[in-house]
Amino acid sequence: MSSGSAPRGLDGVVAAQTRLSHVDGLAGELIIGGYELKELAGKVTFEEAAHLLWRGKLPDAGELTNLRREMAALRALPSETMHVVGAAAKAPPIDVLRMASATLSLDLPHPDAITPDADLAAAKLLTARFPTVLAAHTRIAAGKEPIAPRADLSHAANFLYMVHGKEPDPIAARAIDTYWVTVIDHGMNASTFAARVIASTRSDMVSGVTGAIGALKGPLHGGAPGPVLDMLVDIGSADRAEAWMRKELAASRRIMGFGHRVYKVRDPRADVLSKVADEMSSAALEDKKLFTLARAVEQTVLRVLDEVKPGRNLRTNVEFYTALVLQALGLKPGSFVATFACGRVAGWCAHVIEQHAEDHLIRPQSEYVGPRGLRLED
């Protein structure tokens, strides 16, 4: 292999064939299980989208009822997991989720099995319990008692109930449900690739998903929805937005929440979450002040970007709306990446299922660029 033939970061290298999702950055298209995102988000529930990825089709009414019942019965955490969550009360939520995830293999009858039935059982368990882990840690970190899950609430509504201790406004529950559908899968991103590499060794589902969380934690992958809120706080009021923007651009600093590495046109996930934000404007939100400011700032930012960087088409991305939606639901910025993982876990599980079926070790070559011919002194 000649020097320079290995693309940095495997950019442009096709590492697998998948039926799960496809990202077209030039067309601004995201396909999930054969459907464009706009055909799913806000129209199907998270449980339905998970079934689509795990089983290859949307569930019928009976299948959906069974899946909801099965996942609701799995929400409660075993004592070993709760011990980890309590002991890590001061740790970042994404670290707690990583540590807790690893303990969930203790609750599986055959934790090392990689059969289709075992994989599906593990997928249901992990997806059901991630929100419980995050909600329990959120309350423990705030000096409150964790709240047991309720089987009579939907997956999304139960999460907000466990966080806030009250049944959520239906619009709020719909918002988190739509958010999780929107982020359920997104091509061969770093965390998904990590999960597939682990699964390709014939390792188990829990190991693959735990490794994926470790990849997601990195800021180059987990994104920056938290800094979007820092930006809004720094701006302070809508009338200061334009001056703030011009100062940042003059200093060549990135404007958080705008532009995207993959999408060269508007991020389709931003379209979905923009509609969610519009629906939430009339809901009983936890924090409307910053929500209102964000919507005003967005319009100013887009106008100034079009003027200062014409032709760059720097549009609002999914991180801006993630910050906008999640903070309005009363979630703290430190929990945003872990909240994302509560949606993406279903996609990770689907990729592990797919990789186990492929049953082929992912083992790329590397290009040696070190010295040769070195000798030890006599």
Q: Would you please indicate which residues are annotated as catalytic (active-site) residues?
A: 260, 319
Burial string for 84-102 (b: 16+ CB within 10 Å, else e) reads bbeebeebbbbebbbbbbb
Around Cβ 161, how many Cβ atoms within 10 Å? 20
**Whether 271 contacts 38, CB under 8 Å:** yes
- Token pair recorded at residue 105: 């293999």
- DSSP E strands, the chain: 21-24, 29-32, 35-36
Find the angle CA(222)-CA(271)-CA(192) to the nearest 5 degrees.
Answer: 30
Location of structure tokens 């529930």: 45
**Whether 184 contacts 49, CB under 8 Å:** yes
- Token pair recorded at residue 22: 């496809």
In this structure, is the dihedral angle defined by the CA atoms of residues 166, 170, 174 and 175, taken in order, positive or negative? negative
Residue 113, burial from CB neighbour count under 10 angstroms (0-12, 13-18, 19+): middle
DSSP class per residue in 299-312: HHHHHHHHHHSTTS
C-alpha–C-alpha distance, residues 290 and 239, integer Å:
14
Cα–Cα separations (whole angstroms), residue 209 to 103, 265, 347: 12, 31, 10
